[in-house]
Structure formats: C-alpha cells, structure tokens
Amino acid sequence: MTSKRLKIETRDHDYDLLIGTGVSNQFASELQSLGITAKTKILLITDHHVAPYYLEPVKKVLSEFQLFEYIVQAGESAKSLEQVDSIITYMIQHGFDRTSYILALGGGVIGDLSGFVASIYMRGIRFIQCPTTILAHDSSIGGKVGINHPLGKNLIGAFHQPSFILYDTQFLKTLPAKEIRSGLAEVVKHGLIADSSFTHWLNQHAESLLNLDFEALNEALYQGSRIKATIVKEDEKEQGIRAYLNFGHTLAHAIETVSHYDYSHGEAVAIGMVFATRLSERIGYISRKIEDYYLKLIERFQLPTSIPKAYNTEEILQILMRDKKFKQSQIRMVLPIEIGKVMIVEGIEIDLLRKIIEEMKA
Ligand SMILES: NC(=O)c1ccc[n+]([C@@H]2O[C@H](COP(=O)([O-])OP(=O)(O)OC[C@H]3O[C@@H](n4cnc5c(N)ncnc54)[C@H](O)[C@@H]3O)[C@@H](O)[C@H]2O)c1
Ligand SMILES: O=C(O)C(=O)C[C@@H](O)[C@H](O)[C@H](O)COP(=O)(O)O
Ligand SMILES: [Zn+2]
C-alpha cells in the first residue's frame, strides 16, 4: 500500500498517524516537521526482543538527531513502578529536560510504559510512538498510558497524547504467531464495537490476516485505527463512549492478572469478548445466532474462547470488581447489542457473572 495518514484529534492537540509498509524512511523528515532539531535529546525506549531487529535501523534513519537508548526486558513485567524509576533515573543522569522527547519503539507494553514516563517526567514531556506489533495499532492511539500494580492491570496511569505515530508495517514481519493472533483480537474488537461491514470483511479475510498478507493487514490496521480515532475524538477522557473500546476487557484484565500474564492481552480480550457476548445473550440483548457469529469469528482468528478450569472463579471475580468502569461498586460492562454495536449496561448481577465464568470453564 502507499502510505496513509490519519489525523487524531484531541482536546490537547491533534497529531498524525503515518501508516504503511516502509514508511520509516520518512521518519527523519516527520520529526523535523515537528520542530525537532539536532539539539533535541530523544530517548529511544525499546525491549530486548525488538532491539536486535529494529533499534539499529531506526537509529540509522534518525542519525541526525541526538539519540539515547534504553532497553527493557520484553513482557508485561516492564510495566512496573521499578521500571519507571530506572528510566527516570537514567534521564536525569543524562540531562533530559522539558524539551526532550521519548520515542517508544515496540508493542503496547513499550508504548504504555514510555508514554507514562513521558507523562510524569518533569510534569510531562512529549513522546512519539513507533509501534511494532499489530496490537499497537490500538495502544499507540488515544493517549492512555500506564503501568500495572501487583493487584491489577493498568491501575496506575494517565492520559498523555503522543505527538506523532509512525507505523511501519514492515516491522510486523518478525512477529511470532502468538502475537499476530493477539493483535488481531483488538482489530476484531474494533469491528465488533463500531462497524458491521468491517466485521464481515474481517470474517472473510481471517486467513490472509493470520498469514500476514500485507495488503489485507494494512487495510485492517487502517480501519481499526480509524475507528479508534473516531471514538477518541468524541470522548478523550472516557466519560462516555470511549468505554466501548473496553469491550471484552473487564474479564480480560482479570484473566491476565490471574494467569500472571501467561495469556497475552489480545488472547485475554478474546476470552473477555466471548464472556460479554454470552452475558448479553443471557440478559436478552442479542440472539443465540449473533452469539454464535461472534464465537465463530473469534475462533477463526485461532484465539482462545474458554477459561482454564484451574482458575479460581472467586479470585477472578475479586479482581474484576476493581474494573475502572465500575462506579460505586455497580457492575458496568460493555455488551454487544447487534453486530458492530455495543452499549454500556449497568447493574449486572454478580451471580450471573459467576455462572457464566463457570460455564466457560470448558
Ligand atoms: N494504551 C492503550 O490504549 C492500550 C491498548 C491496547 C493494549 N494496551 C496494552 O498493550 C500491551 C500489549 O501490547 P502488545 O501485545 O503489543 O505486547 P508487547 O509490547 O509485550 O509485545 C508482544 C511481544 O512481541 C515482541 N515484539 C514486539 N514487536 C515485535 C516485532 N516486530 N517482532 C518480533 N517481536 C516483537 C515483544 O518483545 C513482546 O515479547 C498490554 O500491556 C496492554 O494492556 C494498551
Ligand atoms: O483506549 C482505550 O480506551 C481502550 O480501552 C483500549 C484498550 O484496548 C486498552 O487495553 C486499554 O489499555 C484498556 O484501558 P483501561 O482503562 O481499561 O486500563
Ligand atoms: Zn486492549
């Protein structure tokens, strides 16, 4: 595909997402147009899986800038206060100031961690997202940045919008199969919450997407990003419809925590979407036929749809009760009402959640 540009509009500032196979060769000129000069310090943050593939190529295209690098251990454990502390110490020691930038080169973990550091370093500096996973088409847009607490996922964070997103889909060619499937779960989520024709398109293109057919992939990532950008524009701080982007996440975050992150985020979201769909059918918002359509779609992407028997239901429920969508202990969830449409439902009975969790332990 030729590259595409999408404007992300937020109250704080607008910024561009530049997406396409090979767009990293435009990286330097894009940074210049943001006003970044050779005097600006840029801290490249990446992880130890991504670094061997892409750190040197990115440093090469950005060689005219004053680059520093910080490599963290790959995986969810990097989203921790200890990691934030070490990066901030490095930045202070290396003279980073309020004109400096952070560049997040990696998946959602690196984007969330780097963005969080940017949001608090000297009360906030600018940052750039350079996503390297399919999933990060979601995490790089919209400014939700943060880290985990041992008691739960993403419980510490901020809203801090990036200044620019450069998404070179060529970087996806080294993704392990598990991460391809995981990222596609969030693409499917974008279809299911907002666009029935995109959902049907995804159903037809599951195989090409799983095989990293770049034409299909670029299209899917652009459409998913467009859906996310539209929602973020309308409700940047999640006062209303931004919660739709949380479809599947109420249970997902609990599954990730209970599994000690053995389940990837996208896998857990897949289980969570099946859970929310089943709940919606039980309450009577959707038919069994639509429930089946959702289940089959998620299965087509080779994603998990059940909960391991060994997981303790009461522990899952306890973690789930800390969901950020709940208000004054009232259970609020995003449930599907037709293909491509969801709504927020309040006052769900905990016993019904318990029953469905038990049923899903196939
Ligand atoms: N802020 C948001 O709006 C938002 C949205 C969705 C998810 N998230 C967060 O994103 C995180 C999940 O992101 P993720 O799935 O990208 O996980 P990740 O960043 O852990 O990446 C997954 C794995 O793939 C490796 N990897 C990354 N790019 C690679 C490449 N090009 N080639 C080979 N290996 C590569 C990583 O090292 C890691 O091992 C979760 O913490 C989730 O909570 C945030
Ligand atoms: O951007 C959003 O809003 C989302 O909910 C996107 C989700 O895919 C993402 O996993 C997000 O980090 C979840 O947010 P949280 O507020 O429930 O932690
Ligand atoms: Zn998510």
Residue 190: active-site member: no
Find the mean pLDDT for residues 334-347.
97
> Residue 53: what pLDDT?
98
**Tokens 């990066």 appear where?**
87
pLDDT at 160 over 60: yes
Whether residue 233 contacts residue 194, with contact meaning beta carbons closer than 8 Å, is answered with: no
Single out the catalytic residue among 39, 123, 260, 288.
123
Report residue 221's pLDDT band, with 50, 70 and 90 as the boundaries: very high
C-alpha of residue 222 to centroid of ligand 3, in Å: 17
Domains (range + CATH), the chain? 4-174 (3.40.50.1970), 177-360 (1.20.1090.10)
Q: Global pTM? A: 0.98
Instruction: Enter the DSSP assignment of 11.
Output: S
Nearest to 112 by CA among 152, 161, 86, 145: 145
Q: What is the share, in percent, of the chain residues with pLDDT greater than 70?
A: 100
pLDDT tens for 39-90 read 999 999 999 999 999 999 999 999 999 999 999 999 999 999 999 999 999 9
CA distance 235 to 238: 6
Instruction: Enter the DSSP assignment of 9.
Output: P
- List C-alpha distances in Å: 15 to 18, 30, 105, 331: 10, 11, 18, 35
pLDDT at 325 over 90: no
Q: Which residue has the higher pLDDT, 326 or 260?
A: 260
Single out the catalytic residue among 238, 256, 267, 281.
238
Residue 265: active-site member: yes
pLDDT tens for 264-301 read 999 999 999 999 999 999 999 999 999 999 999 999 99
Residues forming the annotated binding site for NAD(+)? 108-112, 132-133, 144, 153, 171-174
Element (DSSP H or E) covering residue 136: helix 136-139
Residue 306: beta bridge partners? none
Taking CA atoms only, the protein residue closest to ligand 2 atom 15 is: 154
DSSP characters over 224-283: HHHHHHHHHHH-TTSSSGGGGGGTTHHHHHHHHHHTTT-S-HHHHHHHHHHHHHHHHHHH
> Residue 311: what pLDDT?
97
pLDDT tens for 105-132 read 999 999 999 999 999 999 999 999 999 9
Single out the catalytic residue among 181, 218, 246, 267.
246
Residue 249: active-site member: yes
Instruction: Enter the DSSP assignment of 159.
Output: E
Report residue 187's pLDDT band, with 50, 70 and 90 as the boundaries: very high
CA distance 110 to 120: 16
Q: Which amino acid is at 274?
A: V
pLDDT at 186 over 80: yes
CA distance 345 to 342: 9
Q: Which SS3 state, helix, strand or coil, does residue 15 take?
A: strand
Whether residue 116 contacts residue 158, with contact meaning beta carbons closer than 8 Å, is answered with: yes
**Which among 119, 138, 188, 192 is the best mutation to test ligand 2's pocket, defined by most ligand atoms within 8 Å of the CB?**
138
**Tokens 């608090």 appear where?**
120
Whether residue 165 contacts residue 103, with contact meaning beta carbons closer than 8 Å, is answered with: no
Find the mean pLDDT for residues 137-141.
98
Whether residue 168 contacts residue 136, with contact meaning beta carbons closer than 8 Å, is answered with: no
In this structure, of 89-103, 224-238, 275-289, 323-337, the range with the lowest mean pLDDT score is 323-337
Rounded to the nearest integer, the mean pLDDT of the chain is 97
**Which among 230, 245, 319, 333 is the best mutation to test ligand 2's pocket, defined by most ligand atoms within 8 Å of the CB?**
245
Residue 149: active-site member: no
> Residue 112: what pLDDT?
98
CA distance 308 to 311: 6
C-alpha of residue 144 to centroid of ligand 2, in Å: 7
- List C-alpha distances in Å: 296 to 110, 164, 171: 32, 36, 29
- Cβ of 182 closer than 6 Å to ligand 1, yes or no, is yes
> Residue 1: what pLDDT?
56
- Cβ of 76 closer than 6 Å to ligand 1, yes or no, is yes
pLDDT tens for 233-271 read 999 999 999 999 999 999 999 999 999 999 999 999 999
Whether residue 285 contacts residue 204, with contact meaning beta carbons closer than 8 Å, is answered with: no
Residue 327: beta bridge partners? 330
Nearest to 149 by CA among 319, 357, 341: 319
> Residue 329: what pLDDT?
80
Find the mean pLDDT for residues 301-314.
98
Report residue 9's pLDDT band, with 50, 70 and 90 as the boundaries: very high
> Residue 344: what pLDDT?
96
- Cβ of 132 closer than 6 Å to ligand 1, yes or no, is yes
pLDDT at 354 over 70: yes
Joined tokens for residue 4: 């595409």
Whether residue 138 contacts residue 107, with contact meaning beta carbons closer than 8 Å, is answered with: no
**Tokens 């964070």 appear where?**
157
CA angle 291, 230, 31 (to 5 degrees): 130
Residue 205: active-site member: no
Joined tokens for residue 218: 């670029």
pLDDT at 314 over 90: yes
> Residue 131: what pLDDT?
98
Taking CA atoms only, the protein residue closest to ligand 2 atom 18 is: 154
